[in-house]
Amino acid sequence: MPKMMVAGNWKMNASSEATTELLQGLLNGQDALPAGVEMVVFPPLPYLAQAQQMLQASGIAYGAQNASEHAKGAYTGEVSTSMLADFAVRYVLVGHSERRSIYGESDATVAAKYMAVQAAGMVPVLCIGETLAQREAGETLSVVNAQVQAVLDAAGAESLANAVVAYEPVWAIGTGLTATPEQAQEVHAAIRAHVAAANAEVAAGLQILYGGSVSPATAAELFAQQDIDGGLVGGASLDAQSFLAIGQAAQAQLAI
């Protein structure tokens, strides 16, 4: 696993034309592309073929925002992990808070998706995070640890050697409210400690991204925290220059 990762979650944005434009913008920024930072884009599923075609010879990876936990069959509207593998997808987001809250994905469903992604040879990016009410009730660490524990119980701590975790406080997503570097670091350290209790070696190598209104203005300070290994970026990933600037902020940490 590379030391830093900057991943762009486009959510349900873009069009065929906008995808070409955005990916071309990233490719044009080749000189500004951070060496040593894993840059990943997560376009909507219909544009995966475009991503594959445009990015396959580049250093930019691409992934899917969701996948079914089922292998195949009568699941209208769903997309399986083997279908994603057909497009040489490397990463799949699982358990994004919008999937959990809007589509009712439980910890058990998220764990099943996580395992399906790994079984198909791809890397799950496990998203976890607390709501504002949970933070205000002092439940942040217990909530995120329980979300991690659901995966540890189902797949084992060793499975995290082939996964990425993204801590995204729900109250910071799309709101312009970024967690302070100290708030984020506290949770990242707690997640790493929780995993370390099960497997210290895996915990030490685990990549934990921060997500929630990451921007070129906030990235450097966040990435400077000891347990923050990059970012999962929503809004700011829809602009090639912003996304590249966030990649540069990650690159700067590698030089330190």
Q: In the complex with ligand PGA, which residue's Cβ is closer, 63 or 202?
A: 63
Does residue 5 touch ligand PGA according to CB under 6 A?
no
- Assigned token pair, 188: 């990242």
- Quick one: which segment of 74-82, 115-123, 145-153, 232-240 binds ligand PGA (CB under 6 A)? 232-240
Confirm whether 188 is a catalytic residue.
no
* Catalytic-residue membership of 70: no
State in angstroms the smallest separation of the CB of 134 from ligand PGA. 17
Residues 140-169 that bind ligand PGA (CB under 6 A): 168
Q: How near is the Cβ of 198 to ligand PGA at its closest, in Å?
A: 26
Report the nearest approach of ligand PGA to the CB of residue 225 (Å).
17
Q: Is 65 in the site for ligand PGA (CB under 6 A)?
A: no
In sequence order, which residues have a C-beta less than 8 Å from that of residue 101 and are 6 or more positions away? 170
Q: What torsion do the CA atoms of 202, 134, 95, 185 make, to the nearest 10 degrees? A: -40
| Partners of 208 in beta bridges | 165
- Counting contacts by CB under 6 A, is residue 105 touching ligand PGA? no
Total site size for ligand PGA, rule CB under 6 A? 12
247 binds ligand PGA (CB under 6 A): no
The least distance separating ligand PGA from the CB of residue 21, rounded to whole angstroms, comes to 19
Residue from 38, 69, 98, 168 carrying the catalytic annotation: 168
To ligand PGA, the closest distance from the beta carbon of 100 in angstroms equals 12
User: Quick one: 96 or 194, whose CB is closer to ligand PGA?
Assistant: 96
Chain residue at closest Cβ approach to ligand PGA: 234
211-230 positions binding ligand PGA, by CB under 6 A: 211-214
Distances (CA, A) of 27 to 55, 61, 62, 141: 8, 12, 13, 39
**CB closer to ligand PGA, 211 vs 247:** 211
Catalytic residues: 96, 168
Q: Which residues bind ligand PGA (CB under 6 A)?
A: 9, 168, 173-174, 211-214, 232-235
